[in-house]
């Protein structure tokens, strides 16, 4: 058994060494002192072998809430002492080594009889996925008190790290500001170019004649205009590209992670606006699909679908993804494709596949550009190498712009934004679609 000696043991051992050192010239006393020290060592070994963690002691790990990417989550180790004697223990948790630790994962606890003590520390996961906790290592004082005994309690435990929904909602509130707040609190209806009649009001110069209510004008004796509110109960489908180009990293996160949090912000805005939002992830094949819906259950389903998906070094199949949407979503929807384009071949497949969505659905293609690419075009070249780099960057950007203009020519919408501008631009475009009644 693994154990270490206590202060009591060293104090008793010292009592044996003192007469041993004083009686070195007197063999009888010397052997008696040696026998005492040997007996003390044997007693400590027997004490360690026979001591067990009291049956009334229970040690449990509690994770307070879910783990979310980049957010600190509290972990608690509860030591419940239901026995009749007090307990002194050292506990050390075997947390996932990939996670950042806040506070100590080891603590010394004094637990009185029939009470509970708790050790608390925080963990911050660096990425999504599944992580594993080990056992809880425990050191406790033996029955006689000569040694600290070691034990491992509990079982290994796997936990899931989900996308950061709080970060997505904060981005939504920051991007939409008052419009999002009004929608959240339901203080007023969004007014725009929708088809849902909202109220009548007196005509003012600048109102469109097509909105004039001639029957109400005749009754009131003055020009009266119909007001419309933004339609609710519409459908948004978000398609996340999990292919090769989405593996690029920005500040420790992949483009795919950035796209996930932009998608969550858009789903939150859609839910506040009364719409139904669904989500799919695709590479060569569709790897996850959550049908359109809203509410807490929908958010949970999306987080569950996305926590373990990682982009792969493969080319995505837009054709299979759009065929899947066309087959599974019969109602007209805003289909938001979060992807990236570099070469002409990828652009050509995307453009050819859009006919699978049109005219039933309204596609919005959002590409996540590279800051380095834009910087290479903006900066003045200082060498031949820089000149070639700038030339290639300009060609790539030209191909991207040409592809996105062709998306618009086919009746879709297009965005080419940096990672930082992705969420605000996406939400603004969604609001513009709603206000203009494009769905």
Does some domain include residue 431?
Answer: yes
Q: Do 249 and 218 belong together in one domain? A: no
User: Taking a C-beta distance cutoff of 8 angstroms, is the pair 341, 373 a contact?
Assistant: no
Residue 103, pLDDT score: 79
Does some domain include residue 341?
Answer: yes
Q: Do 392 and 425 belong together in one domain? A: yes
Residue 261, pLDDT score: 95
Distances (CA, A) of 233 to 227, 347, 359, 414: 19, 32, 20, 24
Alpha helices in 222-317 (DSSP H): 255-272, 296-306
Does some domain include residue 271?
Answer: yes
Q: What angle do CA 279, 282, 287 make, to 5 degrees?
A: 85
Please tell me the distance from the alpha carbon of residue 133 to that of residue 97, in angstroms, as a whole number: 9
Q: How many domains does the chain have?
A: 4
Does some domain include residue 377?
Answer: yes
Token output for 342: 């570099």
Q: Do 67 and 105 belong together in one domain? A: yes
Q: Which of 13, 29, 50 is the last residue of a domain?
A: 50
Please tell me the distance from the alpha carbon of residue 57 to that of residue 63, in angstroms, as a whole number: 20
User: Taking a C-beta distance cutoff of 8 angstroms, is the pair 224, 202 a contact?
Assistant: yes
Does some domain include residue 177?
Answer: no
Q: Do 117 and 218 belong together in one domain? A: no
Token output for 159: 């936990």
Q: For the chain, how many helices (H) and strands (E)?
A: 12, 22
By C-alpha distance, which of 357, 174, 169 is closest to 271? 169
Q: Do 143 and 260 belong together in one domain? A: no
Token pair 């006393």 is found at 29
Token output for 127: 């990425």
User: Taking a C-beta distance cutoff of 8 angstroms, is the pair 143, 94 a contact?
Assistant: no
Does some domain include residue 186?
Answer: no
Q: Do 358 and 405 belong together in one domain? A: yes
Residue 438, pLDDT score: 84
3-state secondary structure of 145: coil
Counting every residue written for the chain, the total comes to: 439
The long-range contacts involving 324-327, CB below 8 angstroms and separated by at least 24 positions, are: 324/280, 324/282, 324/286, 324/289, 325/237, 325/239, 325/280, 325/356, 325/357, 325/361, 326/356, 326/357, 326/360, 326/361
- Name residues whose C-beta falls within 8 Å of residue 90's C-beta, 6 or more positions apart in sequence: 106, 107, 108, 109, 138, 139, 140, 148
Q: Do 23 and 37 belong together in one domain? A: yes
Alpha helices in 194-254 (DSSP H): 214-220
Domain of residue 405, CATH code: 3.40.50.410
Domain of residue 91, CATH code: 2.60.40.10
Q: Do 253 and 326 belong together in one domain? A: yes
Residue 307 backbone dihedrals phi, psi, to 5 degrees? -60, -30
Does some domain include residue 176?
Answer: no
By C-alpha distance, which of 358, 369, 374, 439 is closest to 406? 358
Residue 404, pLDDT score: 83
Distances (CA, A) of 346 to 53, 287, 396, 420: 63, 19, 12, 24
Token output for 321: 């993804």
- Name residues whose C-beta falls within 8 Å of residue 220's C-beta, 6 or more positions apart in sequence: none
Q: Do 204 and 272 belong together in one domain? A: no
Does some domain include residue 170?
Answer: no
Q: Do 267 and 380 belong together in one domain? A: yes
Residue 163, pLDDT score: 95
Instruction: Please state whether 129 falls in left (phi above 0), alpha (psi between -120 and 50) or beta.
Output: left
Identify any residues that bridge with 118 across adjacent strands, giving them in sequence order.
78
By C-alpha distance, which of 260, 362, 346, 369 is closest to 311? 260
Please tell me the distance from the alpha carbon of residue 134 to that of residue 157, in angstroms, as a whole number: 7
Q: Do 106 and 209 belong together in one domain? A: no
3-state secondary structure of 89: strand
Token output for 248: 């690029």
User: Taking a C-beta distance cutoff of 8 angstroms, is the pair 244, 311 a contact?
Assistant: yes
pLDDT tens sequence for the chain (439 residues): 566 777 787 787 777 766 656 555 556 666 777 787 788 888 878 877 777 777 888 999 999 999 999 999 999 999 999 888 888 888 999 999 999 998 778 899 999 989 999 999 999 999 999 999 999 999 888 777 788 888 888 888 999 999 999 999 888 888 877 555 444 444 334 444 445 556 677 777 766 777 777 787 887 778 878 766 566 689 999 999 999 989 988 878 899 999 999 999 999 999 988 899 999 999 999 999 999 998 889 999 999 999 999 999 999 999 999 999 999 999 999 999 999 887 666 688 888 999 999 989 999 999 987 766 666 666 677 777 766 667 766 777 777 777 788 888 888 999 988 888 899 999 999 988 988 888 7
Residue 185, pLDDT score: 41
Q: Do 412 and 337 belong together in one domain? A: yes
How deeply is 355 buried, as exposed, middle or buried, from its count of CB atoms within 10 A (0-12, 13-18, 19+)? Answer: exposed
CB atoms within 10 A of CB 424: 17
Q: Is the bond leading into 359 cis (omega within 30 degrees of zero)?
A: yes
Give the residue numbers spanning the domain of 70: 57-162
């Amino acid at each position: 058994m693994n154990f270490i000696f206590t202060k009591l043991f060293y104090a008793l051992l010292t009592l044996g060494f003192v007469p041993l050192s004083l009686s070195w010239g007197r063999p009888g006393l010397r052997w008696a002192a040696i026998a005492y020290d040997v007996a003390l060592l044997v007693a400590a070994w027997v004490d360690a072998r026979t001591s067990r963690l009291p049956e009334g002691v229970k040690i449990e790990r509690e994770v307070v809430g879910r783990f979310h990417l980049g957010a600190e989550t509290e972990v608690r180790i509860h030591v419940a002492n239901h026995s009749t004697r007090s307990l002194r223990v050292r506990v050390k948790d075997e947390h996932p080594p990939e996670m950042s630790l806040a506070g100590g994962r080891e603590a010394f606890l004094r637990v009185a009889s029939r009470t509970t003590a708790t050790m608390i520390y925080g963990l911050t996961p660096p990425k999504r996925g599944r992580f594993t906790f080990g056992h809880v290592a425990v050191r406790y004082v033996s029955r006689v008190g000569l040694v600290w005994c070691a034990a491992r309690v509990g079982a290994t435990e796997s936990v899931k790290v989900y996308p950061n929904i709080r970060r997505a909602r904060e981005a939504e509130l920051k991007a939409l500001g008052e419009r999002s707040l009004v929608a959240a609190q339901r203080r007023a209806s969004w007014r725009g170019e929708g088809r849902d009649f909202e109220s009548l009001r007196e005509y003012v110069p600048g109102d469109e004649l097509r909105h004039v209510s001639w029957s109400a004008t005749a009754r009131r004796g003055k020009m009266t205009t119909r007001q419309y509110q933004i339609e609710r109960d519409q459908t948004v489908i978000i398609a996340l590209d999990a292919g090769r180009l989405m593996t690029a990293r920005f500040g420790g996160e992949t483009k795919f992670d950035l796209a996930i949090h932009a998608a969550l912000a858009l789903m939150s805005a859609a839910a506040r606006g009364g719409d139904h939002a669904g989500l799919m992830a695709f590479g060569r094949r569709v790897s996850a699909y959550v049908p359109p819906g809203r509410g807490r259950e929908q958010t949970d389903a999306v987080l569950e679908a996305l926590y373990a998906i990682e982009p792969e070094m493969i080319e995505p199949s837009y054709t299979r993804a759009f065929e899947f949407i066309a087959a599974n979503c019969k109602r007209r929807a805003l289909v938001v494709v979060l992807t990236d384009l570099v070469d002409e071949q990828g652009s050509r497949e995307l453009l050819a596949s859009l006919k699978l969505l049109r005219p039933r659905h309204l596609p919005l293609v959002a590409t996540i550009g590279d800051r380095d690419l834009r910087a290479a075009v903006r900066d003045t070249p200082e060498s031949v190498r820089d000149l070639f780099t700038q030339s290639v960057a300009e060609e790539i950007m030209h191909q991207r712009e040409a592809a996105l203009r062709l998306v618009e020519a086919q009746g879709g919408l297009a965005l080419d934004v940096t990672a930082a501008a992705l969420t605000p631009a996406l939400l603004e475009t969604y609001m513009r679609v709603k206000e203009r009644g494009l769905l």
